[in-house]
Amino acid sequence: MKLEIGEITIKDVTLADETALNDGHLTINKQDLIDIVLEDDRLASADVQLAKPGEKTRITPVKDVIEPRCKVDSESGIFPGVISKVNEVGQGRTHVMKGIGVTTVGKIVGFQEGIIDMSGPGAEKTPFSQIINICLVINPTEDLKTHSYEEAVRLAGLRVATFIGKLAEEIEPDEVKTFETKPLVEQMNEYPDLPKVGYVYMLQTQGLLHDTYVYGTDAKHIVPTLLYPTEVMDGAIISGNCVSACDKNTTYHHLNNPIIEDLYARHGKDINFVGVIITNETVYLADKERSSDFTSKLAEFIGLDGVIISQEGFGNPDTDLIMNSTKIEKKGIDTVIVTDEYAGRDGASQSLADADPLANAAVTGGNANETILLPAMDRLIGTLDYVDVIAGGFDGSLQASGEIEVEIQAITGATNELGFNRMSARGV
């Protein structure tokens, strides 16, 4: 598959009488977006607010962030199986609005929603402080069940992002990037002397608001399978997660997976990037055994020499991570795992809930239990009602001064296990 990504840099976003895109300036009519949100009668009210980098603005509780984009000259549509028909994506031309995100905010769906600060020390922990957030503050109808509210908010965000993304359909991109993965035999023959590398993409699927969707299907119901990397870049995978904010893969993360982009950058130079194996993170042991067996079997079947494995979440999924790594290693295939740590506030506890000597090469996104003091902000988008109870918060997190003391677990994207975060390591 060959995919062209046409990037259109958004210089600014303002509220106006018309929703339009001109010369990199996006104007938004609030009522246009509110009407789209309220197409779902499960939602009682909505508001649209903008948050820009450097502002003393706090957004919480955040559920998802979605990058607006659209297919160009294609029968396929963005977010197939959810917003568009279940048509194959990953090829043709897609236009992307860079520098903005549609951010869903509102009364808490699950206790693992997050915080985005647009300035201060919290902003240094999240990549979303660097983009303009088009915030949809959404309130449910009375007594709406939590799972139904999650679905309504998820779909509202995707509908709005699609509406905005279509404004870029006729715009000439600032830059066009091309990504291509050929059918397996052809791919192998093109670079026969380079090591064959694949990517095992673990998707959060523990249920109870811990879900990820592939072409509209809840990934807990799949067995591991192969995808072209370009399918991921083109909206085949979306987030339905209310997992800890620090290592949640939002839809924005899936669309801009840095592991896939980095592997493409090295493809044909020092590696042959063969493709992506998607797998789930299930709850029961038998399901974990089945999925890890399939994952290692696929890695062997397509002849990989090395594999990068990324995780989402922590605790129970640590077992899936170690099972995948050890079984693939036993096939004679080198593995590197990408994860984060829950090592206690002092960093002295065991980082993962599971371990094995064969899983001996790891990249970490940081210790999610590290604490941080977030200063008071001049403006709030959403509500502070849940700061004490979100994952990473505790009784007394919200202080009378307006400051918030939390673990960085509460900050959206702080320790993201795709490496899509702002922290790094240094030698001492």
Radius of gyration over every alpha carbon of the chain, rounded to an integer in angstroms: 21
Residues 6+ apart with CB under 8 A from 29: 15, 16, 17, 18, 19
Residues 6+ apart with CB under 8 A from 22: none
Which of 209, 238, 236 is closest to 150 using CA atoms?
209
Q: Is 372 helix (H, G, I), strand (E, B) or coil?
A: strand
Q: Output the six-digit token pair for 236.
A: 């085949």
Q: What are the angstrom distances between the C-alpha of 249 and each of 60, 115, 186, 211? A: 17, 14, 32, 11
Scored b (16 or more CB within 10 A) or e, 191-209 reads: beebebbbbbbbbbbbeeb
**Biggest alpha carbon–alpha carbon distance for the chain:** 65
Query: What is the rounded end-to-end Cα distance, in angstroms, of the chain?
Result: 44
In one-letter notation, the amino acid at residue 63 is K
- Rounded to the nearest 5°, which phi and psi values hold at 408? -65, -10
- Rounded to the nearest 5°, which phi and psi values hold at 81? 80, -5
Helix axes 285-301, 316-329, angle to 10 degrees: 30
Does the annotation mark 242 as catalytic? yes
CA separation for the pair 203, 279 (Å, rounded)? 6
Catalytic residue selected from 70, 135, 242, 246 = 242
CA separation for the pair 73, 3 (Å, rounded)? 12
CA separation for the pair 382, 291 (Å, rounded)? 39
**Catalytic residue set:** 242
